Amino acid sequence: MKQSPQSKNMFPMFVIISFISVFILFGVMEFRHTKSVLNDYENSIQQVAINKQICLLKILRL
């Protein structure tokens, strides 16, 4: 039984689309992780600034 030219092109196309989908998925997951890390870093910087302000206010009250 002969394969049609259209069926010969389907498997490589499926493989290419699968690889592209995997790369996009990894990119989205990495972006979510990076966003989470940046939010944690931003919150820690904000907490340091608040602590320094509290320390300065304590010094000024003395």
pTM: 0.58
Q: What is the pLDDT of residue 61?
A: 87
Q: What are phi and psi for residue 29, nearest 5 degrees? A: -65, -40
Render pLDDT for 7-25 as a digit per residue (tens, 0 to 9). 677 888 899 999 999 999 9
Report whether pLDDT(6) > 80.
Answer: no
Render pLDDT for 30-58 as a digit per residue (tens, 0 to 9). 999 999 999 999 999 999 999 999 999 99
Domain edges within the chain: 38-62
